[in-house]
Amino acid sequence: MKTITLSLIAILFSMSTQAQIKNTKSEVKKTVTTVTNAEGEKKSVKTEEVKENQKIELKNADSNDLNKEIKTSPVEVTSTTTVSANGVTNSVDVDRSSYYDLNGERYQVKLSESGYNIYQPNAKKAAVLRKTSNNNYIYSAKNKTSFGYFNADGNLILESYDPVTDKVTVETFMIIQK
């Protein structure tokens, strides 16, 4: 019994441990909004999770020095937003809610339960954006349906087919920087 115990202790102490490969920081922010009106009370829960990952790298990994310096490496930031309202949960990788400019008019793109709503300058709902399976959007207005996506600059690009000219027209909603 004594030799088994000593053997197990020797095995435990002889196992090598590995250092941490990534430096990870995670932050969760939860916002609860309650609106009371004549129809009753509506509760909306918005959860934002921001993860920062940084690979740990050594400056001279091949050197024979005992203590090695850490090399600075880029931080990868991923943000995920989940909105839960009226029993419907919507997950958004990046919240694109902002003000956009098209032909001198200012439009507001606002996150909704099932995608985004686009509002005209007079706060009237102009259109809806619904996410597709390949991270693009379907833009639907009164008499117009288009294919849309957000480019690297954050602008909303709409591509529409015009059957009269047999061409695809491109409209760009430019994001208004604050």
Average pLDDT of the segment spanning 99-127: 87
pLDDT the model gives residue 16: 52
The more confident residue out of 161 and 95 is 161
To the nearest 10°, report the CA torsion of 75, 50, 119, 89. Answer: 140
Mean pLDDT of the chain: 82
User: Using the 8-state DSSP alphabet, how is residue 129 labeled?
Assistant: E
Higher pLDDT pick, 89 / 158: 158
**To 5 degrees, how large is the angle CA 55–CA 60–CA 62?**
105
Q: What is the pTM of this model?
A: 0.52
Is residue 17 predicted with pLDDT exceeding 70?
A: no
Q: What per-residue confidence (pLDDT) applies to 172?
A: 92
Does residue 139 have a pLDDT over 90?
yes
- 48-95: pLDDT as tens digits: 888 887 777 788 878 887 788 888 777 776 777 777 777 777 676 677
Residue 19: half-sphere exposure toward Cβ, Cα within 13 Å = 8
Secondary element (H or E) of residue 10:
helix 2-14
